[in-house]
Structure 1
Amino acid sequence: MTLAVFIVEDEPLIQDSLKVVLEGYLQAEVVGTALSEAEAVAWLQANEEAWQLLVVDLLLKQGTGLGVLAALSALGRKKGIVVALTNAASPDNRAECIRLGADAVFDKAAEVNEFLAYCAAGH
């Protein structure tokens, strides 16, 4: 079964790179993307059953990934893997992501291999 992925990332080049890597390495299907918190929250509310893996950046041009995680928590997420992939993976941000319901947090620059291994393991 193909892994359905939703990506929240405001940098188009990074979003495209993630799509290529996830579809190539994991044989996943990117079912949607969002550039902002509001766009992500609207999509997640309308498509609760459409994704199995959510990849969210914390630093967005409009809103934050923490806002996306908080909204997802308020929706009462029942399934799916939620991963924060960010350049802002400080200990405080990692703790806040986990508190808001993320399953894992990875540094975009230093932990990409760990992120891919985590996703491939089907956590």
Structure 2
Amino acid sequence: MRAYIIEDNPTIRENLVGTLEELAGVKSVGFSETEGQGAQWLQDHRDKWDLVIVDLFLKQGSGLGVIEACKQRDPRQRVIVLTNYATPDIRTRCYQLGADAVFDKSTDIDSLIDFCVDLGGVN
């Protein structure tokens, strides 16, 4: 499974990539730190990703714009939000925009890994 990561914190990004590769069989195909870069990459590489993992607060723009930019994705492609602000209102907004799942960075990493494994990573 190929994942594109949109996260502006290098430490979180590197730890996430390592964890997903090791525990869920997910291969990172790249990253960006802004809404514009992420949305553009996803549009330019429509068939090069299976999963996008998006933080909501980025160097420029918002992960909400990235979710919205993925509306025309292939049905097999998944959009996951990984944020420190997974409040009920934020979760609702993300799902309204088309996110497939929303996880809290501080409490839901195991659930994120399970989600990825269920999608087709390592069993």
What's the TM-score bracket when you normalise by the shorter of the two chains?
over 0.9
AA at the equivalent of 1:97: C
Q: Deviations over 1:71-103 (max 9, x none)?
A: 112xx1123111101001111110011111110
Scaled by the length of structure 1, what TM-score is found? 0.93
After TM superposition, list the pairs within 5 Å mapping 1:33-112 onto structure 2.
Answer: 33-73=31-71, 76-78=72-74, 79-112=76-109
Runs of 4+ displaced beyond 3 Å: none
Question: Which has the bigger relative contact order, CA under 8 A and spacing at least 6?
Answer: 2
For the 8 Å contact 1:7–1:54, the answer to whether it is kept is yes
Q: Which runs of 5 or more residues in structure 1 are unaligned? A: none
Q: Which runs of 5+ in 2 are unaligned?
A: none
Aligned partner of residue 45 in structure 1, secondary structure: helix
Count of residue pairs the alignment pairs up: 119
CA RMSD of aligned residues (A): 1.1
Identity of aligned residues (%): 40
